[in-house]
Amino acid sequence: MRRGGGKDFVSPAPAPPQRLRLRGRDGGSEMMASSAEQLRQEGNELFKCGDYQGALAAYTQALDLGAAPPDRAVLHRNRAACHLKLEDYDRAEAEASRAIERDGGDVKALYRRSQALEKLGRLDQAVLDLQRCVSLEPKNRVFQEALRHIGGQIQEKVRYMSSTDAKVEQMFQILLDPQEKGTEKKQKASQNLVVLAREDSGAEKIFRSNGLQLLQRLLDTGEADLMLAALRTLTGICSEHQSRTVATLSVLGTRRVVSMLGVDSPAVSLAACHLVQVMFDALKEGVKKGFRGKEGAIIVDPSRELKVLISNLLELLTDEGVSGQGRDNSLTLLTKVVPRKSPKDPNNSLTLWVIDQGLRKILEVGGSVPDAPGELTVTANSCMSASILLSKLFEDLKCDAERENFHRLCENYIKSWFEGHGLAGKLRAIQTVSCLLQGPCDTGNRALELSGVMESVITLCASEQEEEQLVAVEALIHAAGKAKRASFITANGVSLLKDLYKRSEKDSIRIRALVGLCKLGSAGGTDFSMKQFAEGSTLKLAKQCRKWLCNDQIDAGTRRWAVEGLAYLTFDADVKEEFVEDEAALKALFQLSKSDERSVLFAVASALVNCTNSYDYEEPDPKMVELAKYAKQHVPEQHPKDKPSFVRARVKKLLATGVVSALTCMVKTESPVLTNSCRELLSRVFLALVEEVEDRGTVVAQGGGKALLPLALEGTDTGQTKAAQALAKLTITSNPEMTFPGERVYEVVRPLVSLLHLNCSGLQNFEALMALTNLAGISERLRQKILKEKAVPMIEGYMFEEHEMIRRAATECMSNLAMSKEVQDLFEAPGNDRLKLLVLYSGEDDELLQRAAAGGLAMLTSMRPSLCSRIPQVTTHWLEILQALLLSPSRELQHRGAVVVLNLVEASREIAGTLMESEVLEILSVLAKGQEDPVGRVAATCLGKAVEYGLIKPSQDGE
């Protein structure tokens, strides 16, 4: 059964504009005109007093009362003045434009629009308005002075652009002057250079002003600040520009550019990483598009440049003078740029070339033991980064022959170290196996089966040397999670791990042995009936893990293993309950997730998924359970503490402890450890956190909305869907413009539209429709974005859905979209039943569906009077439906029905005659007596129009 979102709030389809006209003969209209004029005067007084918000509200209310066209122009002009005072220049420009549309010679509106355009930086448009003002009032000194002022600004801008070359030269002089070392002047010059390079015109200026040679001199200084400025400027020069990228590589040298990754400064290494990424993107774009046009003509072959760049990155991996951070950044770049982004692309030649040229180099990094003498300099994250790259390369292979070659190359490398290099060679071989088990595990499993490997792992676990024990125990732990080895290790490894845990005096060994026990102890997953250890053992293990996690005297690399242990133990609901009660442990977990220990991310995400029960779980069919028991088959049992009430309580505790800020930091990381699988886990946790309406405000306040956007746009299909559903829930119950401020609100549309596909659940469809309804009611730009994502056909399809809540949500969404011209064109196109469906739905028993359909119908008939003549043609029951709306106990439905009737009356005298000959006349007469409310005013206007047509006569008392 599909669930609805009963507590969720969606702004209803907006009330349509009322097509009211003022008539001197109508006493009610005179009263409205007087009221509008009174409000305008009140607004003027408030404006004089400095209450611009109050004045704006008064002018808006006067507009809503249906002021005459000349008065509407004045009101829009006055609203523009309020927005100028409130510094809302976009709205000021829009309001002034509305006034100008009604009166092109309105000098005040033209002047106010020019003021708004000036503030928005659109000087060329502001000048046009001011020139028009001066032509209308040549002697007005204010207009003349404003025109001179803007003219001066434009000349200054032109002078600035013409003097950019001189400024670029001046910046480089300051940066290369040894006397300016460390000064504020030098810092400002470097910042200005970087900012200038971000604009294409600025980047071109630097490029043509001998910029590459000057930037090379900055790199040669060896000063971190100057190197950073040079690298960031080069990033701007190369961004999305293939020919400048090739020129940069030619001048600086590919090897020199790549070598910047290996410097000791982490900031410089990361800046170089960004530069090389930008270069990759520019070159790959050239390969994709081919070499056409002016830019491509100077490039011999960008694919060759691409391979040279990759070849240098592979060389960097095994260069002895390279920092560990540099190797990690190189692995990150290779992970991003080598494998195909989509399996649909048949060409995986780059992957095959990298495997052929660099697989041994990648394995050498993955097999290096940190801080070991004679080994490459690596970080705690290097092995994991190598594992991820190896996994990506393996997944990109297309056939068994390619995969078999990959297995063979890895096995030959391991054998070459395992045989003939003594103990050091065995350690490197075992470390390499660990790396493979964390990446392409099929290859790792095959490596474990090589002669003597598993035996050496068991033997080295008992070594007296800590480094040897660490390598062996970690290999045993990684092997324990693989199906082919689990039974062997369960039989032979448990006693060994227990012995290590009890007897070892070194915390680094004990904590790893404990993780191995945790891994084996959680083999039953969430199945309560599958217990590997004695009652209470998992709780004892978890308690020890939490103790190590909270001990900040232990280094982060070792504490990571405590999180690994909890990631397995939290399958047990008793462990979850104790864990969320331990505030110190939770805070230590979140703090560790924000640290430089990036390899902990997956374990943190896994533990949080377990605590929030956000893994996929389907309630088994009771009949099938009975059949399984009868057939003596095993039936998984859910732990009593995994029931919804316990899960909700755990979510509350996680939120109170700051889980959202931790998740947000994890999403922001640029490490390759943030794999698609890890993203999916984070998406699952976010979805669990926003399940309850009252928790969504907390998630939004702590940056959850911003963090969900990248998760919804990148990752596994499941992960993107979960993140999109979480976005939908936030969009339904909060103001989207506050939840996703600025341009971010437009990024929400695509994930929401993805939930409309048929492979998504009914609940996901429903929540997406409700969220899109909210967005469609905000602005025309958002409606255009929804149309651009081709959502309309899918929304129309759901208007026929059997489930009443989905059908209603789709109708409401379509009603809000009807404010767009393109959607109105669809309804007006010949030979379609869209209008018929809205008319019929306006007569349904479901009041909420009626409200949505009638709102859309009122909107369309207001915007497109030509549709009015088609309503009597779509169904013979149209009169009954309108009468039912007018007689509805709901004032909202009455108002929508009255507006539809008014639009029909104003559009056609013939239709008006049909309406006045029916019971509609009597109903309108009754409604018109209550002229103080919107329904009464609309009804009175309908009758006034009928009098004008001569269809009815006013009564003796003038009504």
pLDDT at 242: 85
Question: 826-842 pLDDT, tens per residue?
Answer: 888 888 888 899 999 98
| Predicted TM-score (pTM) of this structure | 0.68
Sequence-separated contacts (24+) of 123-127 with Cβ below 8 Å: 123/150, 123/153, 123/154, 123/157, 124/154, 126/150, 127/151, 127/154
Distance between CA atoms of residues 745 and 747, nearest Å:
5
Short-list 632, 675, 725, CA closest to 5: 725
Length of the chain: 959
Distance between CA atoms of residues 899 and 861, nearest Å:
9
DSSP state of 369: P
Residue 615's Cβ-count burial label (10 Å; 0-12, 13-18, 19+) is middle
Residue 710's Cβ-count burial label (10 Å; 0-12, 13-18, 19+) is middle
Q: How many other CB atoms are found less than 10 A from the CB of residue 717?
A: 11
pLDDT at 307: 87
Does the pLDDT of residue 674 top 50, yes or no? yes
Short-list 72, 64, 13, CA closest to 859: 13
Task: State mean pLDDT over 550-564.
Answer: 85
What are the distances in angstroms from CA 38 to CA 44, 67, 431, 435, 938? 10, 11, 84, 79, 21
- The residue whose two tokens read 């996703």 is 740
Task: State mean pLDDT over 243-252.
Answer: 88
For residues 133 and 107, is the Cβ–Cβ distance under 8 A?
yes
Q: Residue 438: which pLDDT band, with cuts at 50, 70 and 90?
A: confident
Encoded tokens for 568 = 């397995």
Does the pLDDT of residue 734 top 60, yes or no? yes
Short-list 603, 586, 598, CA closest to 659: 586
Question: 611-669 pLDDT, tens per residue?
Answer: 998 877 655 555 554 555 555 554 456 677 888 899 999 999 999 999 999 999 988 88
Task: State mean pLDDT over 287-296.
Answer: 44
**Where are the alpha helices (H) located in 451-534, listed in sequence order?**
453-461, 466-480, 483-503, 507-521
Does the pLDDT of residue 533 top 80, yes or no? no
| Backbone dihedral angles phi then psi of residue 525, each to the nearest 5 degrees | 65, -135
Mean pLDDT check: name the lowest of 23-27, 479-483, 810-814, 903-907. 23-27
Question: Domain 187-287+301-338 class?
Answer: mainly alpha
Distance between CA atoms of residues 773 and 783, nearest Å:
10
For residues 660 and 699, is the Cβ–Cβ distance under 8 A?
yes
For residues 516 and 480, is the Cβ–Cβ distance under 8 A?
yes
Distance between CA atoms of residues 177 and 171, nearest Å:
10
DSSP structure string for 50-94:
T-HHHHHHHHHHHHHTT--HHHHHHHHHHHHHHHHHTT-HHHHHH
pLDDT at 559: 85
Distance between CA atoms of residues 65 and 563, nearest Å:
64
pLDDT at 305: 81
Q: Who has greater pLDDT, 99 or 302?
A: 99
- The residue whose two tokens read 């070659």 is 405
| CATH 1.25.40.10 residue spans of the chain | 31-162
Mean pLDDT check: name the lowest of 291-295, 383-387, 568-572. 291-295
Mean pLDDT check: name the lowest of 209-213, 561-565, 586-590, 883-887. 209-213
What are the distances in angstroms from CA 104 to CA 109, 698, 826? 9, 49, 32
> What SS3 class is residue 552?
coil
pLDDT at 297: 40
Short-list 825, 887, 893, 806, CA closest to 853: 893
Q: Which helix (H) or strand (E) holds 382?
A: helix 382-395
pLDDT at 400: 92
Q: Residue 488: which pLDDT band, with cuts at 50, 70 and 90?
A: low
Does the pLDDT of residue 525 top 80, yes or no? no
Q: Who has greater pLDDT, 235 or 304?
A: 235
Does the pLDDT of residue 31 top 60, yes or no? no
For residues 687 and 726, is the Cβ–Cβ distance under 8 A?
yes
The half-sphere exposure of 382 on its side-chain side, counting CA atoms within 13 A, is 28
Question: Cα 446–452–458 angle (5° rounding)?
Answer: 100
Q: Residue 491: which pLDDT band, with cuts at 50, 70 and 90?
A: low
Mean pLDDT check: name the lowest of 38-42, 536-540, 675-679, 876-880. 536-540
- The residue whose two tokens read 């119908």 is 857
For residues 501 and 469, is the Cβ–Cβ distance under 8 A?
no
Task: State mean pLDDT over 301-323.
Answer: 86
Does the pLDDT of residue 881 top 60, yes or no? yes
* Residues in contact with 352: Cβ distance below 8 Å, sequence separation at least 6, in sequence order: 397, 402
Q: What end-to-end distance do the CA atoms of the chain give, in Å?
A: 54
pLDDT at 40: 85
Question: 84-130 pLDDT, tens per residue?
Answer: 988 889 889 999 998 888 888 888 999 999 999 888 878 888 888 88
Does the pLDDT of residue 448 top 90, yes or no? no
Short-list 503, 585, 477, 573, CA closest to 531: 573
Task: State mean pLDDT over 753-761.
Answer: 91
For residues 693 and 651, is the Cβ–Cβ distance under 8 A?
no
The listed CATH number (1.25.40.10, 3.30.43.10, 3.40.50.12780, 2.40.50.1070) that belongs to domain 31-162: 1.25.40.10
Short-list 264, 253, 385, CA closest to 330: 385
Counting residues of the chain whose pLDDT is more than 70, the rounded percentage is: 86
pLDDT at 27: 39
Distance between CA atoms of residues 607 and 936, nearest Å:
61
Distance between CA atoms of residues 366 and 348, nearest Å:
23
